[in-house]
Chain A
Amino acid sequence: MKHKKILAVLLTAAMTLGLLTGCGSSAGSTPDTEGSQTDSQGTDTPSDPGDEDDTAKEEGDGGAITFTDMTGREITLTEPATRIVALTPSDCEILYALGAGDTLVGRGEYCDYPAEVAEVPSVQSGADTNIEQIIALEPQVLLMSTMAQTEEQIEQLENAGVHVVVSDAKDIEGVYTAIEMIGTLMAKEEEAETLIADMESTFAELTEKAAGDGTKTIYFEVSPLEYGLWAAGANTFMDEVATMLGLTNCFADVDGWGEISEEQVLERNPDYIVTITMSYDQELSPEEEIISRAGWENVTAVKNRAILNLVNNELSRPGPRLAEGAQMLYDFIYGEETEAGDSAANGETAE
């Protein structure tokens, strides 16, 4: 009797914990997109026997394409892909940037750029990835990241004749690799090269023009105070772009995205604030909300109104628009030199 009761309590406690953590992980996975490196090595299985026939054929017709995806798996397609399902927003963006948007037959539910992508049938992605939905669309290739998919799921897809290609960019160099890989599988190598060259030249130009010497600090806010502050730390695209522009990320000691203490922001006193949050309050924009926070009035960025809101994931998504985002950040910080009178100008006058 005694033991039964203890057991019951233990079970209840375990269940309650399970509920809590269960809710937490499903919702919490979003802010952590960049930080989580799910077992990418786990998917590193040798290509299945079926592929060997294709390799043999390759010599015959010459149209076959062999390449290595970003988990190191070698993949062989008999011809350039014409039916693709892409689960991550960044892969969709790359496809459109390469002029191959019309090959998309399915997209992950979070894909939202460019606007046309909304017309493509949506499939569940992330933790709820639905294999049946994907197979029903009969794609030749499924582009996805390393998150949340199990080896069994990948095997099921391969068995159904869908080539699973993983793109998994962790830095800008990785984005180039992803673009190159997608270019190869679409037989759009030239477009890919042009796109990469464009991005490289934008970054190079900005790095050269940027006058910063690392003394100015920037704070990237990815979740507003109301819901607990989250900042982008080291090993994020935002951090990489900030360094490129001669700025220092306030929270470089945090790896990936992390919930941080409000007090730390006040102490570290950033010169610039970039928020990628959306307005949760009907009356205040994210910039206004930051300005209105109690105790923040002495923060340099707030004093100078040097706050930028990037609403369209320009700097949080491993896609071609990173260059655009870098340009926007540059204009925000150094904009005074080119055109006077925009919002960033105020930030510069403090110097």
Chain B
Amino acid sequence: MRTRTEKFHLWEYLVFFAVTAAVFCLCVCVGSVNIPLGEIGAVLKNAFLGQAQTNALASSILIPVRIPRVLCVALTGAALSVAGTAMQGLLKNPLADGSTLGVSSGAALGAVIAIAFGVVFPQIPFGATTVMAILFAFLSLMIILGLAYKLDYSLSTNTIILIGVIYSMFVSSAMNIVITFATDKIQSITFWTMGSLQGTGYTDAALLGVTLLLCGGLIFFHARELNAFAVGEDNARHIGVNVRRTKLVILITVSILIGVCVSIGGTIGFVGLVTPHMVRMLVGPNHKRLLPAAMFGGAVFLMLADLIARTLLNPRELSIGVVTSLVGAVVFVFIFSQSRKR
């Protein structure tokens, strides 16, 4: 390993941002319906200048459908990836992720319950499914942590992962029970198990953006503590990190990130698991560098996965979760075997 600097330099930010922006442009230009570049330019120019659109079809595809979707995909990828990085650092476990710990499936269960039993919160601006997804992400985390505390006060990583796996299985059977009670809503429920970002709009993007800014920022301020955790929990305690408080803060922010992502895109696996590993090969294990890089990396990974989902079987669409799992599993095994060889 070469020696690496502590900080994520400005030029590195610019490079990562440029790559992400390039992929964003690619994803806006390529889609199920082929729109020539010139048209896209014209539509964007008219939209920015507030002029009347000359091409009704191109503008009604680009402005309300394709751009918000790509935006949501990018933000979801970034959020899931940051959440995954934080968890892997915190639990010092390469397999930690919202999906492996069961937080994602817990959030999905909340949404499914909201649909199946027609839960409504009239006073809250977001849909009941969103609120229930975030609530259940919290709840899942509390159950996992509560059990872990009960069984093993020091919250050792093995215990958490083990309980996470058991909890995922529990949730998946609970989901099946709910489905049995609400067979007529089975179609809507499919969404929460497969994931889809079709039909997402600017409000979803705004919600994701704000969440990412707040929670991602909070996690970034704990980068030093995460570095200490990555060496070892005892190490963290010895150098003066408030272990329990940091754990709590990180895990709660992570569950907010995951809850919001699930409520908008359903459960999308492997993003939070794979991208931190890929990015770590580029920028090294220091969380001060890893977290921002993972944010961009996750956005790029999910945008490309979504591009495949949107265009591969045109006019059909693939479920984005299927693409991330297929690509992610292969890439993960490859990365893992590579890093073991060294």
Could you write out 17 A-B pairs with CB less than 8 Å apart?
Answer: A12-B95, A12-B100, A16-B329, A24-B190, A24-B194, A24-B319, A27-B179, A30-B186, A225-B199, A228-B317, A261-B32, A261-B317, A262-B65, A266-B57, A294-B201, A298-B56, A298-B57
- In the complex with contacts A2-B340, A264-B32, A295-B65 CB distance below 8 A: yes
B120 at the interface (CB under 8 A from A): yes
B50 at the interface (CB under 8 A from A): no
Residues of chain A within 8 A (CB-CB) of B100 are: 12, 16
Alpha-carbon distance A27/B310, docked complex (angstroms):
21
Alpha-carbon distance A30/B185, docked complex (angstroms):
10
Alpha-carbon distance A175/B251, docked complex (angstroms):
56
Residues of chain A within 8 A (CB-CB) of B151 are: none
Q: Which residues on A are within 8 Å of B, measured CB to CB? A: 2, 5-6, 9-10, 12-13, 16-17, 19-20, 23-24, 26-28, 30-31, 109-110, 222-223, 225-229, 251, 253-254, 258-264, 266-267, 269, 277-278, 280, 282, 293-298
Alpha-carbon distance A254/B32, docked complex (angstroms):
14
Chain B residues 293-327 with CB under 8 Å of chain A are 310, 314-319, 321-322, 325
Residues of chain A within 8 A (CB-CB) of B193 are: 20, 23-24, 27
Residues of chain A within 8 A (CB-CB) of B84 are: none
Alpha-carbon distance A13/B99, docked complex (angstroms):
12
Beyond A6-B337, A228-B198, A263-B33, 7 extra complex contacts between A and B, CB < 8 Å:
A30-B186, A226-B191, A226-B199, A260-B316, A264-B315, A295-B63, A296-B60
Residues of chain B within 8 A (CB-CB) of A228 are: 191, 194, 196, 198-199, 317, 319
Alpha-carbon distance A269/B57, docked complex (angstroms):
9
Alpha-carbon distance A293/B329, docked complex (angstroms):
35
Interface pair B183/A251, CB less than 8 Å apart: no
B56 to chain A, nearest CB (A): 5
Residues of chain A within 8 A (CB-CB) of B6 are: none
Residues of chain A within 8 A (CB-CB) of B188 are: 226-227, 280
Residues of chain A within 8 A (CB-CB) of B57 are: 266-267, 269, 298
B194 to chain A, nearest CB (A): 6
B187 at the interface (CB under 8 A from A): yes
- In the complex with contacts A6-B340, A223-B187, A266-B33, A17-B329 CB distance below 8 A: yes
Residues of chain A within 8 A (CB-CB) of B196 are: 227-228, 259
Find the residue from B32, B175, B176, B319 having the highest chain A CB count within 10 A. B32
Alpha-carbon distance A9/B332, docked complex (angstroms):
9
Residues of chain A within 8 A (CB-CB) of B289 are: none
Interface string of B88-116 (1 = CB under 8 A from A): 00000001000110000000000000010
- In the complex with contacts A6-B336, A30-B187, A297-B60 CB distance below 8 A: yes
Q: Which of A12, A260, A282 contacts B317 (CB 8 A)?
A: A260
Find the residue from A6, A263, A278 having the highest chain B CB count within 10 A. A263
Residues of chain A within 8 A (CB-CB) of B179 are: 26-27
Interface pair B60/A266, CB less than 8 Å apart: yes
B211 at the interface (CB under 8 A from A): no
Residues of chain A within 8 A (CB-CB) of B115 are: 280
A310 to chain B, nearest CB (A): 15
B208 at the interface (CB under 8 A from A): no
Interface pair A266/B336, CB less than 8 Å apart: no
B159 at the interface (CB under 8 A from A): no
Interface pair B333/A10, CB less than 8 Å apart: yes
Chain B residues 184-224 with CB under 8 Å of chain A are 184-191, 193-194, 196, 198-199, 201
A224 to chain B, nearest CB (A): 8
Residues of chain B within 8 A (CB-CB) of A267 are: 33, 57, 61
- In the complex with contacts A9-B333, A13-B333, A264-B315, A294-B65 CB distance below 8 A: yes
Interface pair A227/B61, CB less than 8 Å apart: no
The 6 closest A-B CB pairs, nearest first, are: A295-B64, A294-B64, A261-B32, A227-B191, A225-B199, A228-B196
Interface pair A261/B332, CB less than 8 Å apart: no
Residues of chain B within 8 A (CB-CB) of A16 are: 99-100, 269-270, 325, 329
B168 at the interface (CB under 8 A from A): yes
Residues of chain B within 8 A (CB-CB) of A251 are: 315
B285 at the interface (CB under 8 A from A): no
Interface pair A31/B315, CB less than 8 Å apart: no
Alpha-carbon distance A24/B176, docked complex (angstroms):
12
Q: Which of B176, B190, B316 contacts A227 (CB 8 A)?
A: B190
B31 at the interface (CB under 8 A from A): yes
